[in-house]
Amino acid sequence: MAVIGKEEARRITAEELRKHNARADLWISVQGKVYDVTAWIKDHPGGDLPLLNLAGQDATDAFVAYHPASAWAHLDRFLVGRLADYRVSDVSRDYRRLVAEFSKSGLFDQKGLVAPVTVFVMLLLLVTAVSGVLLSESALVHLICGGLMGLLWIQSGWMGHDSGHYRIIRNPRLNRLAQIVSGNCLTGISIAWWKRNHNAHHIACNSLDFDPDLQHMPFFAVSSKLFASMTSYFYERKMHFDAISRILVSYQHWTFYPVMCFARINLFAQSILLLASKKKVPSRGQEILGVAVFWIWYPLLVSCLPNWGERVMFVIASFMVTGIQHVQFCLNHFSTSVYVGPPTGNDWFEKQTMGSLDISCSPWMDWFHGGLQFQVEHHLFPRLPRCHLRMISPFVRELCKKHKLPYNIASFWEANVLTVQTLRAAALLARDFSNPVPKNLVWEAVNTHG
């Protein structure tokens, strides 16, 4: 006869669970069991933010989305009891069943040929761009090579994105090497920064104060709710809607594409800020070394061009082409539903679907979107290799239809229109003087008539 331990027998109410929602006292519930993960925060492979954002509540759907079956074996050591009033919604039940079916069929383990093909394309682009700079004297060739460098960064971005969600290479050390080379060395962007940012985005999809991918003040505001100068729980600072912000936001539908052309500068800065901060960064030495490699080889390559005019054009071409990827990042979320406050575990499926937008395209264009065209599917099944996203899309559509939830999808052109419309709507509201901000002489000068 099995013996039930005191932890297994203890009953914990949802109200009691909610009280344990701080870094120094953090409990979560998974599949009706309650775990004290306070001591695990510092060692959690996904970082501290996912645990902090879901503290004191049921995190089952997020757990099954992000963890393989092998992770369940590690939970028992944190067990403190069972949730007395545990309930599962019909949506969550169907979602978990779908995750189990995909896992049983082996989809999470079948990586396909995406990684080796992407590596080949990246090598081809790198060799071509470097050869063009070193072997040709044509300014046009040099300009084209700058564009090819931008394409290389885009493909490196897809590679880094994939390797951050699942092992594109079975060997963990080789997978880590792929992350550092594709992210830090080739693009100058820290994979540690990306994982910290991206995990927070996935957990708190489209929360204005918890999702860093919607926190672009003073340049952009996707909702007038941001005019309240709310606090960013990711950046741990207030996002001030001041006079300068009002100027920039008021014209954001015009400045969106020009800013996206140079958005990579922000990623460079964010990477350096994290690596220089006191925050815990796994393998900080590797991260710094990888970024340093980029800042050696890229400026050195640019310096090989014959004059400053061609050097500037090469860099601009690199940034403008890779700006396409930054636009793609925005299309998937800027025009969809947003909310204020922390994510909640009991509406995981709903928040992920309502806050994401798919891009409809032909299969032969999948290389261009890097899997982001199936953003809804990716957010629901982040560990699923992108080669399977098109195949499982009908299952997600059917589940949304069954539970009367939106399945947002638009063409690439329509998604751009929706994004600009969203930015324009917020821009017009920003010009409303009934919403006061600190006075600024520049704003008054620009908007004085007569």
Question: 112-131 pLDDT, tens per residue?
Answer: 888 889 999 999 999 999 99
| Average pLDDT of the residues in 267-288 | 94
pLDDT confidence band for 433 (50 / 70 / 90): low
DSSP string of 15-41, one letter each residue: HHHHH-EETTEEEEEETTEEEE-GGGG
Q: Check whether 439 has a pLDDT greater than 70.
A: no
Give residue-wise pLDDT tens across range 307-350. 999 999 999 999 999 999 999 999 999 999 999 999 988 888 99
d(CA 108, CA 172): 16
Give residue-wise pLDDT tens across range 190-214. 999 999 999 999 999 999 999 999 9
Angle at 215 between CA 164 and CA 396, to 5 degrees: 55
Choice among 188-192, 301-305, 352-356, 430-434 with the minimum mean pLDDT: 430-434
At residue 55, the pLDDT reads 92
Nearest to 253 by CA among 54, 431, 131, 383: 431
Structure token digits, residue 136: 């040709």
Q: Where are the domains of the chain?
A: 1-75, 111-331
Taking residue 373's Cβ as centre, other Cβ atoms within 10 Å add up to 26
Architecture of the domain whose range is 1-75:
Roll (3.10)
Q: Which residues are CB-neighbours of 434 under 8 A, at least 6 positions away? A: none
Choice among 15-24, 168-177, 379-388 with the minimum mean pLDDT: 168-177
d(CA 408, CA 24): 39
> How distant is the alpha carbon of residue 152 from its chain centre?
20
At residue 9, the pLDDT reads 65
Amino acid at 350: E
| Coil, helix or strand at residue 399 | helix
At residue 442, the pLDDT reads 45
